Amino acid sequence: MVKDRMVELLQEHFELNLYEARAYVALVGFGVLTPAELASVSEVPAPRTYDVLRSLEKKGFAISQPGKVNKYRPVHPENILEKFIEEWQERVKEELEAKKKAKEELLELMSPLIETEIPKYGVERVWVVRGIRNATLKTKEMFKEVKEQILLADDGYIAINLESDLIKAIDSGAKAKILVTENVYNRLKTSKILDYYKDGKLELGVLDKIELPMLICDDEVFFALEDMAARYFNYETQIWIKDFRVKALFEAKFNEYWEQAKKV
């Protein structure tokens, strides 16, 4: 219904709760209402109408006419919605600046911790990473820190979604060999990855199927455990290992794939 859609939009984008949204839609429809009248023409419970109307007034969506029984009328939607957007833009701008300043201050405060070589990177060489967001952050970190070599066997996420990070790593001097499945290759035909391949800046091969997707950056290895249910819910478990022996094992598997791959 149109009324339900109006209520939904007011809740989702203009910070009104369910009863406030219903009340505002009723006011727009009827023009002027008392609390009792609002209860009779809307789905706002009678005990809540006074609080809801006062809240709408406070938020700028309604104005009241004092009297023996208060009456309320809506502020014109075009006016209040535009005003809300203007105030929201200013608020977001201020919040964004505050977050940028907080980031700079945190980086400054944390720099001694980051620059200190503590056993955190020398001893713990195996980590479990869960969820697509955490996996993405770890992959970005690997691309940022790689110095010499990238070996990527990808069946559907990294080459498509992290193209810019991969390109930056190559521009910084890392050599790259990339294996993708046929469906991924079809999505890369207009990408910068293919342009770099044509210019000789990376090597590219295509396989029908990659049973063990992996990313190798220097001595770091990142791969996912097979769990289709977890992948479906974007909570796939991935393993990060930094060990030259493990890297050698995965590189051997990558080279097997490379020998089987079709050249683009």
More confident of the two residues 94 and 130: 94
Query: Does any domain span residue 73?
Result: yes
Is 223 a domain residue?
A: yes
Q: Does 57 reside within a domain?
A: yes
* pTM for the predicted model, two decimal places: 0.58
pLDDT in tens, 92-105: 999 999 999 999 99
On whether residue 25 sits in a domain, the answer given is yes
In this structure, the answer to whether residues 15 and 144 fall within a common structural domain is no
Burial (CB count <10 Å: 0-12, 13-18, 19+), residue 169: buried
Tell whether 11 is covered by a domain: yes
Q: What is the average per-residue pLDDT within 191-200?
A: 90
Whether 104 is covered by a domain: the verdict is no
The pLDDT of residue 121 is 47
Q: pLDDT value at position 211?
A: 87
Which residue in 31, 27, 39, 37 sits closest to 3, CA to CA? 27
Tokens of 22: 């219903």
19 or 69: which carries more pLDDT confidence?
A: 19
pLDDT digits (tens, 9 = 90+) for 208-235: 888 889 999 999 999 887 666 556 566 6
CATH number for the domain spanning 139: value is: 3.30.870.10
Segments forming the whole domain that contains residue 134: 126-263
Q: Kindly state whether residues 145 and 214 are assigned to the same domain.
A: yes
- Please give the residue that has the higher pLDDT: either 238 or 228: 238
Q: Based on the domain organization, do 67 and 133 belong to the same domain?
A: no
Separation between Cα atoms, residue 184 and residue 161, nearest integer Å: 11
Mean pLDDT to the nearest integer, 76-82: 94
Shared domain for 142 and 229, answered yes or no, is: yes
How high is the mean pLDDT of the chain? Answer: 88
Give the rounded distance of the alpha carbon of 160 from its chain centre. 15
Tally of domains within the chain: 2
- The token duo for 83 is 């005003």
Q: Which of 77, 111, 144 is the last residue of a domain?
A: 77
Looking at residue 189, what is its pLDDT?
Answer: 82
